[in-house]
């Protein structure tokens, strides 16, 4: 993943221009790279192998670029106003707000250039673009982020509101990662709902754990920010141990969604287990 990300930096952001520097900076900060790993693991589960793996590089990079854009914008003063990300200064702190805004726009745009590279079959590109665009636009991540902001410091919420926010802002992109991984292995259309369902359930568990980690030290992000800012999180709704159990149940139900793939889905299951136990 790191090697591919460096190649993206060289190809798309080769100069000393501040925009290019900011894009390289954002991509190089040490993230967990969960989403590209999910792409590769789903690629294997859907019948891909090491010979076809370079096809999966494209969606793996595109999704990490989209994810990175979402973090750069999420950290902006007008959104979560964060100074720290992945143990480094956020892009708007290291550069400035305008550059952070444009770096996000740039990474999002170029993700689609990566997905439609000339060496990919056109029908595969079209399917992957449709799936990814649907997961991050007005019915996906961007919508979820807007609801996250709407519910900040507001009363009258119910659990369905938070389920919807977390589904849209986080689970949709995670589901796109597993689905694009499967598509890149030539998965049959009737197997795609299983990969989507797996990602939706795992993605919700993932964001619950993110909420639980917010007040912990050592995550590379500011500590205790959600509570200080009045964010709606699972800890607004239930005690910690109940939220932990919910994340565990969701991960188990994610496993059920991919049971049909048997042994081939071993790496997907391993990743999901690690995500539940992560400390950052």
- What residues make contact with ligand IPE under the rule CB under 6 A? 31-32, 34, 70-71, 74, 80, 86, 141, 145, 169-170, 207, 210, 221
Residue among 37, 35, 43, 38 at smallest CA distance from 182: 43
Establish if 210 lies at the interface with Mg ion (CB under 5 A).
yes
Min dist CB 193 to ligand IPE, Å, is 23
Looking at beta carbons only, is 240 or 259 nearer to ligand IPE?
A: 240
Looking at beta carbons only, is 108 or 257 nearer to ligand IPE?
A: 108
Min dist CB 201 to Mg ion, Å, is 19
Looking at beta carbons only, is 4 or 212 nearer to Mg ion?
A: 212
**Segment near Mg ion (CB under 5 A), from 11-19, 80-88, 155-163, 191-199?**
80-88
Min dist CB 148 to Mg ion, Å, is 5
Min dist CB 278 to ligand IPE, Å, is 8
Burial group, residue 66, by CB count within 10 angstroms (0-12, 13-18, 19+): buried
Sequence-distant contacts of 18-21: CB under 8 A, at least 24 apart: 18/95, 18/99, 19/99, 19/102, 19/103, 19/106, 21/95
Q: What are the percentages of helix, strand and coil residues in the chain, rounded to 5?
A: 70, 0, 30
- Spatial separation of the C-alpha atoms in residues 142 and 251, rounded to whole Å: 24
Looking at beta carbons only, is 100 or 141 nearer to ligand IPE?
A: 141
3 state DSSP class of 218: coil
Looking at beta carbons only, is 46 or 108 nearer to ligand IPE?
A: 108
Beta bridge partners of 88: 85
Residues 5-34 that bind Mg ion (CB under 5 A): none
| Interaction site with Mg ion (CB under 5 A) | 74, 80, 210
């Amino acid at each position: 993943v790191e090697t591919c990300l460096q190649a993206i930096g060289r190809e798309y952001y080769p100069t000393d221009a501040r925009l290019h520097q900011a894009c390289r900076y954002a991509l190089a900060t040490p993230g967990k790279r969960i989403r590209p790993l999910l792409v590769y693991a789903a690629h294997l589960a859907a019948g891909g192998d090491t010979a076809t793996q370079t096809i999966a590089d494209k969606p793996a990079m595109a999704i990490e670029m989209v994810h990175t854009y979402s973090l750069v914008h999420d950290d902006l003063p007008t959104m979560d106003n964060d100074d720290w990300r992945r143990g480094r200064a956020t892009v708007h702190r290291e550069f400035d707000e305008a550059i952070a805004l444009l770096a996000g726009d740039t990474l999002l745009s170029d993700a689609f250039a990566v997905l439609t590279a000339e060496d990919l079959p056109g029908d595969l590109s079209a399917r992957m673009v449709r799936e990814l665009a649907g997961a991050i636009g007005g019915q996906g991540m961007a919508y979820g982020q807007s609801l996250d902001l709407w519910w900040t410091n507001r009363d009258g919420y119910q659990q369905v509101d938070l389920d919807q926010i977390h589904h849209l802002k986080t689970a949709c992109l995670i589901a796109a990662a597993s689905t694009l991984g499967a598509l890149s292995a030539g998965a049959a259309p009737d197997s795609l709902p299983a990969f989507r369902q797996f990602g939706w359930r795992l993605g919700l568990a993932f964001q619950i754990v993110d909420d639980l980690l917010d007040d912990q030290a050592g995550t590379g992000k500011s500590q205790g920010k959600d509570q200080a800012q009045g964010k709606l999180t699972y800890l607004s709704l239930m005690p910690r141990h109940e939220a932990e159990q919910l994340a565990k149940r969701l991960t188990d139900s994610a496993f059920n969604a991919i049971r049909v793939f048997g042994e081939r889905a071993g790496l997907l299951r391993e990743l999901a287990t690690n995500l539940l136990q992560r400390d950052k």
